[in-house]
Amino acid sequence: MGIRNLAFCLLSIPPSSHPQIPVISDWNRLAVSEKPESTSPLVESFEPIDFAGKAYTLMKYSLDKYQPDTILIERQRYRSAGGAAIQEWTVRVNMLESMFHAVLHTLRAERGIGKHFDVFSVSPKRITGFWLADVDEKLNARETKLKKISVAKDIVKGSQVGMNVEIVGDAKKVAEALVGNTGGNASMKKMDDIADSMLQGLTWWKWHTNRLETVEEILSWQDVIVENVKMEHRSIKKRKL
């Protein structure tokens, strides 16, 4: 998430498909606030009263256009790399994150149960742990970003074991740009958020899929236990007779 680079990924799971394959139909980056040209007399404002309008407009437009059931918002840090100081830009991004949650909470309350949607805050650390769990060496921030971009590339190319996605519409252009990314500093800044937005959606889906599979397995154990108890009762009755 960012003010200059806010990445989003629209992901849906067709209920009739088996096995379930996530479909990405929209995937892009946008700027919540553009930096004015050096020759422009305009001054960019980061005051809450100005950002409130931008947050409302973006969230309202996104809800009307995409009609989502679930919205994931990346949780922002207050400090970078464990530093003691809190950077001014970090404060601005955190302010925007809070505004997104406040706007969505209000819009959800206004719409009522009939048009309900859920909003969740997603921890980047947990997402990284999910995809890079098998990485033994300790990675710095840049190496971690490159690794996640590499994972996202593999998913798009269909070479990531256990994860297939279908990419349709305008999202194909972004997927092609991601795969063609060379890994330089400039391109990494552009593709880091793009990769993260997809990985967050897929991770959330996998968490829920794994949870459902675990619940079904536990329930199947319960059925076996109940059946064993019934058989034991029938055996006891036969011995008494």
pLDDT, tens digit only, all 241 positions of the chain = 788 889 999 999 887 666 788 999 999 999 898 887 877 788 888 889 989 999 999 999 999 999 999 999 999 876 555 555 567 888 889 999 999 999 999 999 887 655 689 999 999 999 999 999 888 788 888 889 999 999 999 999 988 878 889 999 999 999 999 988 665 555 566 788 999 999 999 999 988 888 777 777 776 766 666 666 666 666 665 555 5
Looking at this protein, which amino acid is placed at residue 108? R
Taking the alpha carbons at both ends of the chain, their separation in whole angstroms is 72
Distances (CA, A) of 169 to 62, 65, 72, 113, 149: 17, 15, 22, 31, 21
Sorted by sequence, the CB contacts under 8 Å of residue 60 that are 6+ apart come out as 103, 107
The Cα–Cα gap between 162 and 210 comes to: 13
Residue tagged 């601005």 (tokens) = 92
Domain 6-240: CATH superfamily is: Ribonuclease H-like superfamily/Ribonuclease H (3.30.420.10)
Q: Where do runs of H (alpha helix) occur along 67-184? A: 88-111, 124-131, 141-157, 171-179
